[in-house]
Chains A and B, each alone.
Chain A
Amino acid sequence: MATHGRKAPLHNEEMLINMGPQHPSTHGVLRLVLRLRGEMIESCRCVIGYLHRCHEYISERNGWIRSLPLTDRLDYLSPITCEWAMALAAERLAQVEVPERAEWLRVLSAELYRIASHLVFVGTFGNDLAAVTMFLHTFRERELIMDIFEKLTGQRMTCHYIRVGGVGWDLPAGLDREIRQALDVIESRLREYDDLFTNNRILRARTEGVAEISAERCRAYGASGPVARASGVDFDLRRDAPYGVYDRFDYRVILGNRGDCLDRFTCRMEEMRQSARICRQVLDGLPPGEIRTKLPARFKTPEGVAYGAVEGARGECGYFAIGDGTEAPYRLKIRSGGFSNLHLIEDILVGWKVADVVTILGSIDIVLGDIDR
């Protein structure tokens, strides 16, 4: 007699699913090997390295000045971060003074790009959750910042703005007014995003309480940036390991309390508002003066070790350099925030359903260029 499948025992066998490397929701070329039982994830293994471009190898041969533009290709959604970290490592190693105005312009460019990067996150996270409208809206606003960077540096993304000892170009006349206008527009649109996403019942249901990460686990796995702060890890390099002139500005370090996907989203939304606040303070108090220290024709770093780390849009971006008296670092190690944040995925995906993978991965906000280096 036919059982119509009802009385047959439920199939509950193990299955190995390969997600990526070519998958629209892995934000680049990332491969996840998921071991499933039914719909539940039993273990996950990340396979990375598809975008490895030997940055450390190239930098150790090309030297400081010639490999600085390459850093833009690491975290291509917030290139200022990597530029600044590399310049910082070189400056700390060679004891280079940076003029006051250059420090302020660095803060301005970094915070503008933080907004641009978080806008991409908000858009792609919405896109991952099938709220495609978000993607279209945030890319419209991001374009305002891209226009500003085109006027400031001539490039939209790979801008090579920060140099060892300063910045590449001064603020063109009239751009400060344009930046203020862009910030006004973006801030008003952030309220729209809240209506579209943060207060949207469907999207809340898919993110609230999903993949809660404890603060201890964040620390153990070396997570940083908004991922760690959403879990309540009260650490921000801008405030706690100061670099540049961040101590002059008034802003809040945003913390979440649950550490779920929604917290990681709202943390970044709030960080954009804080970044806009910092940008306005820079424009109000930008001091006059030089924008770059004159370096010797052959810039060399002395023997020693130095570590320069900045708070990027995806966590701690640091360059660890060992100098040997030549124009190139003897050893240059790039520590990217995304690398450690992605490691966390292997742990937190366990116990969630396949349908949540895209949500959780999206909430970590990875850029594979940054992870694979």
Chain B
Amino acid sequence: MTVQEAAAAVQSELSDLAESIETRERDVLVRCAAKDIPQVMARLRDGATSCDYLTFVTAADYPPSEDSTGRMDLWYHLRSLSLRIEVLVTASIARDGESVRTVSDLYPTAVWHERECYDLLGVVFAGHPDLTRILLPDDWRGHPLRKDYTEDMNDLTYTTEKRWPEMSEARKPGG
């Protein structure tokens, strides 16, 4: 299936949900509202586009500036292994306080990808079965891929004295 045919198929599936559908060189880019994400993904999976493969889920952080209040862009990359097409789905949410519904019930692979997205960017996926950190330690503070993250949010100078105070006592000469 060519990109043009894919775009037409996506258009017919999502005519009422998509805010815009753009045909690009290799993929079709769909913009929609964050609340519609599960519905959009379900239709792309079960409809004529048969996007049965979720490649990845990620987000990009845009902190507040003079002319905007900031936002978090979500990105989902879908493939149809049978039709050989690629669809990018994107939606925006507020940086804090707004969550997006998980797609892990549609695509089990999203369980880990959404955990990673939460871990590194702090996106909250509502209804996720196990939204915990995956790459960073559980006691990590902050989400490093947010643009306002600073390295002093975590004390990385792990010394024996800080980690195990009782051991540093025992190591004193004559102790």
Contact = CB atoms under 8 A, between A and B. Distances in A.
B81 A235 contact: yes
Given A220-B107, A220-B108, A307-B77, A335 B56 contact: yes
Interface in B13-38: 25-27, 29
Contact of B109 (A57, A305, A343): A343
Interface stretch (A31-39, A46-54, A117-125, A282-290): A46-54
B145 A57 contact: yes
A289 B60 CA distance: 40
A137 interface: no
A147 to B, nearest CB: 35
A49 B133 CA distance: 9
Contact of B134 (A48, A320, A331): A48
A77 to B, nearest CB: 20
Interface in B101-158: 107-109, 111-113, 116, 120, 133-137, 144-145
B76 to A, nearest CB: 11
Given A241-B86, A307-B77, A320 B135 contact: no
B54 interface: yes
Contact of B56 (A49, A233, A241, A320): A320
Interface residues of A, number: 34
Contact of A233 (B77, B81, B116, B120): B81
A309 B78 CA distance: 13
B107 A54 contact: no
Contact of B144 (A54, A318, A373): A54
A335 B55 contact: yes
Nearest to A220: B108
B53 A49 contact: no
Contact of A340 (B26, B112, B135): B112
A39 B75 CA distance: 42
A370 interface: no
Interface centre among A56, A57, A333, A343 (most CB of B within 10 A): A333
Contacts of A83: none
Interface in A74-109: 92
6 contacts: A56-B145, A219-B52, A307-B27, A318-B77, A320-B75, A335-B77
Interface of A: 48-49, 52, 54, 56-57, 60, 92, 219-222, 233-235, 240-241, 305, 307, 309, 316, 318, 320, 322, 330-331, 333, 335, 339-340, 343, 347, 372-373
Interface of B: 25-27, 29, 52-56, 58, 60-61, 75, 77, 79, 81, 84, 86, 88, 107-109, 111-113, 116, 120, 133-137, 144-145
Q: Give the top 6 A-B pairs by smallest Cβ distance, nearest first.
A: A222-B109, A331-B60, A49-B135, A333-B58, A335-B56, A52-B135
